[in-house]
Amino acid sequence: MMITPGVNYADQYASHVMRHKKKYPKSIILAVERYKKWKKRKDIWFEVDRANEMLDFVQSFIRHVKGPLAGQLMELELWEMFVFANMYGWYRKNEKGNIVRVVRESYVQVPKKNGKTIIAAGALLYAMYGELELGADCYCAASDYEQAQNAAEPIAQAIENSEPLAAPTQIYKGVNGTVSGAMYRYSMNGIAYQNKFKVLTKNTKGLEGKNPYFVLNDELHAQENMDMYDNLKSAQISREQPMMLNISTAGKGASSVGMRVYKYAKRVLENDNDDSLFVAIWEPNKNYDWENRKVWAMVNPNMGVSVTMEQLEIEFKKAQQSAHSKAEFLSKHLNVFVNGADNYFEQDQVQHVLVEDLGELTGATCYIGLDLSKTTDLTCVSLNFPTHDEGGTDIKSIK
């Protein structure tokens, strides 16, 4: 799709979602409602032309490098345009009176094979080449070097396959071909500048000394602790309009970095209480049926493009054979955080039945039932508070 000047593609996606709500998860409907609410505000505004500049940059400089479309320029899907337009289209005046982007951090969570690479590469390369930030330091952060290469290699290939980007750029690679970064050298008004991107992992030394303009946190769920995320986030404070892009598929473990950032992102999505964070999460609604094909289609925005129902059917058959395969299917293809392959209850199942307010129970009579396990059995505890029906008969209700 050619990017037409003056066309608001975020509006187009928002309108489509609101006309077909049953086909979209609640989390995306919330993102659209938040977008529509922002359009009514007076303290921030949406600049269509600036948003479209970013969309046009991606479609002009990034090419497919694998599969039947290899060599062809990328063509963004409407949902990807919605993500990019929200990241780069909202503006405000800061306390100095300068016009700056509203969004400084983005959390995008989509299932596997739904175009995360184009979003990651597009955003980093736009920061490095397209935003005209002088001395833009861009970082690709991941849990380990192998994971970092999954994001860094497509970025390097995009540079190599675009003559305007490749000519002034030096790409740094190891002896085995691994990408460690790139340097873009240019001059403006007779002064030489360098924009760069560099690969970071948990083992990288000197994280505290960085001054990042753009940070890509790839597969955030795989990071073991918050150190790298926190260090890079705090290091961006000296930049006037930085961007941190957290892009991931759901992972395993309730204490993972991905889960913690996800929970905050969900609160922002529901309460709209942090303008600096844009959130887009494709996940099933509460009480979903993991075997329902409509659910599969709902949470995979690139269905029919890079993901097919036939592919998911193959993975689903595997998922029916073991707990491990089911956990993989839920996290990778339905974008659901899971505790692990051997758990009786998945993380999302527990979250969906939690009740935050049990009422006033101080001083109430309570009977506690406790069943301990020793080896392979379950441990269970229940709190039972008696209530009374109209006849005065005690009724024990398990909370």
Q: Are 327 and 344 in contact (CB under 8 A)?
A: no
Q: H/E/C letters for each residue in the chain?
A: CCCCCCCCHHHHHHHHHHHCHHHCCHHHHHHHHHHHHHCCCCCCEECHHHHHHHHHHHHHHCECCCCCCCCCECCCCHHHHHHHHHHHHEEEECCCCCEEECCCEEEEECCCCCCHHHHHHHHHHHHHHHCCCCCCEEEEECCCHHHHHHHHHHHHHHHHCCHHHHCCEEEEECCCCCEEEEEEEEEECCEEEEEEEEEECCCCCCHHHCCCCEEEEECHHHCCCCHHHHHHHHHHHHCCCCEEEEEECCCECCCCHHHHHHHHHHHHHHHCCCCCEEEEECCCCCCCCCCCHHHHHHHCCCECCCECHHHHHHHHHHHCCCHHHHHHHHHHHCCCCECCCCCCCCHHHHHHHCCCCCCCCCCCCCEEEEECCCCCCCCEEEEEEEEECCCCCEEEEEC
| pLDDT value, residue 376 | 45
- For 3-55, how does the pLDDT look when each residue is reduced to its tens digit (9 = 90+)? 999 999 999 999 999 999 999 999 999 999 999 999 999 999 999 999 999 99
Phi, psi (degrees; rounded to nearest 5) at 329 = -65, -45
- Give the C-alpha separation, 95 to 58, whole Å: 31
Task: Give the residues of the chain that fall short of pLDDT 50.
Answer: 344, 375-376, 396, 398-399
Domains of the chain: 9-281 (3.40.50.300), 293-353 (no CATH), 367-398 (no CATH)
Average pLDDT, the chain: 90
pLDDT tens digits for range 140-180: 999 888 888 999 999 999 999 999 999 999 999 988 889 99
pLDDT at 375: 45
Tokens 């029919």, located at residue: 304
Q: Residue 36 in contact with residue 14, Cβ under 8 Å? A: yes
